Amino acid sequence: MSLILLAEQVLNGLQFGVMLFLMAAGLTLIFGVMGLINLAHGSLYMIGAFAAAGVAAATGSFLLALAASLAAAAIVGGVIELVVIRRLYQRDHLDQVLATFALILVLSEATRWAFGSFPLYLNIPPALSGSVRLPGGIEYSLYRLSLIGIGLLIALALFWLISKTRIGMRIRAGENDREMIAALGVDISKLYTVIFALGAALAGLSGALVGAIQSVQVGMGEPVLILAFVVIVIGGIGSIKGALIGAVLVGLTDTLGRVLLPPFFATFMEKSAATTVGSSLSSMLIYILMAAVLIFRPSGLYGRA
């Protein structure tokens, strides 16, 4: 395998990881601050993609589509927090899983009812299509490169928000001791709604960004949701930094595993058997990574013990 191909695959892994981060960031905040397991996070990803596809079809503008994905996911997120999620904070995790699983079914069927059963069209904007030549002679898709850039920018903005602003201070305080900050006069329920809507908006944005190169269809969020859970378990629940590192680790492991394992087995096995074994093992690789991390750090890379 040539070095250029390997470098391209590392970029692919990075891009995949950065998009996972957008999903995982909201999930880890919601779990860390409110102690809530939100299975419906994947539905918010789907809602973002559908909102973007709808607006892009109506206006032809990708920027408006992205704005719509942020707004739609944040609004839906805010509403379900007010109507459903709010009643779950005091309940145990099983109740939360049941209720948010019900939300997946409700939101999926509502989306199908509104947009129909067939996948929607959403494409990348002409300005970002095509590829660019990177130093070292790597030809890489401009859109995927932009995804990496957008993802890293959002990660920076989140770090700033959490470490430098008043709301970030309250989020950190909420993670440490919910009763205490309520006692200090912070309106905790408003804070929860804001965090939930913020996480939802990030999921929606990532749905729209990824939807442009994938398929916008009902149920698109659930596979990503599972990966996002793997990411936050690896990174440590509640930690944004952990989510970023975990997401990039998962992205790189998954992509490089898919690329490197089949040829590795082919060095000592018959070719088609090597393909089968290699691809089966590569699809397990991130779970093996997760298990390995948990053996050495039971609360994840950056989780509090």
Q: CA angle, corner 65, sides to 63 and 67, nearest 5?
A: 70
Q: How near is the Cβ of 141 to another protein at its closest, in Å?
A: 6
Contacting residue, 67, 172, 275, 299, with another protein by CB under 8 A? 275
Contact 10, 272 (CB under 8 A): no
Number of residues near another protein (by CB under 8 A): 48
Q: State how far the Cα of 213 lies from the Cα of 8, in Å rounded to an integer.
A: 17
Stretch that binds another protein, among 32-40, 72-80, 115-123, 182-190 (CB under 8 A): 115-123
What string of DSSP letters covers 6-27? HHHHHHHHHHHHHHHHHHHHHH
| Residue 132, H or E segment | strand 131-134
Contacting residue, 156, 280, 287, 304, with another protein by CB under 8 A? 280
Nearest CB to another protein, comparing residues 5 and 98: 5
16 belongs to the binding site for another protein (CB under 8 A): yes
Q: How near is the Cβ of 113 to another protein at its closest, in Å?
A: 10
90 belongs to the binding site for another protein (CB under 8 A): no
Give how far Cα 119 sits from Cα of 109, 110, 216, 283, Å: 14, 15, 6, 25
Stretch that binds another protein, among 176-184, 208-216, 287-295, 296-304 (CB under 8 A): 208-216
Contact 37, 92 (CB under 8 A): no
What string of DSSP letters covers 226-253? HHHHHHHHHH-TT-HHHHHHHHHHHHHH
Contact 105, 218 (CB under 8 A): no
- x/- letters, 25..44, toward another protein (CB under 8 A): --------------------
| Residue 139, H or E segment | strand 138-141
Q: How near is the Cβ of 58 to another protein at its closest, in Å?
A: 15
- x/- letters, 127..166, toward another protein (CB under 8 A): --xxx-------x-x-xx----------------------
Contacting residue, 15, 43, 100, 239, with another protein by CB under 8 A? 15
Stretch that binds another protein, among 2-10, 24-32, 91-99, 200-208 (CB under 8 A): 2-10
Question: According to CB under 8 A, which residues from 212 to 271 bind another protein?
Answer: 213-220, 223, 255, 258-259, 262, 271
Q: Which amino acid is at 250?
A: V
CB atoms within 10 A of CB 96: 19
Assign residue 130 a region: left if phi > 0, alpha if psi is -120 to 50, beta otherwise? left
Long-range Cβ pairs for the range 129-138 (8 Å, 24+): 136/4, 136/7, 137/4, 138/4, 138/7, 138/8, 138/11
2 belongs to the binding site for another protein (CB under 8 A): yes
Q: How near is the Cβ of 203 to another protein at its closest, in Å?
A: 16
279 belongs to the binding site for another protein (CB under 8 A): yes
Q: Which amino acid is at 191?
A: L
Nearest CB to another protein, comparing residues 10 and 75: 10
DSSP state for residue 72 in the 8-state scheme: H
304 belongs to the binding site for another protein (CB under 8 A): no
Residues that bind another protein (CB under 8 A): 1-2, 5, 8-9, 12-13, 15-16, 108-109, 112, 117-121, 123-124, 129-131, 139, 141, 143-144, 210, 213-220, 223, 255, 258-259, 262, 271-272, 275-276, 279-280, 282-283
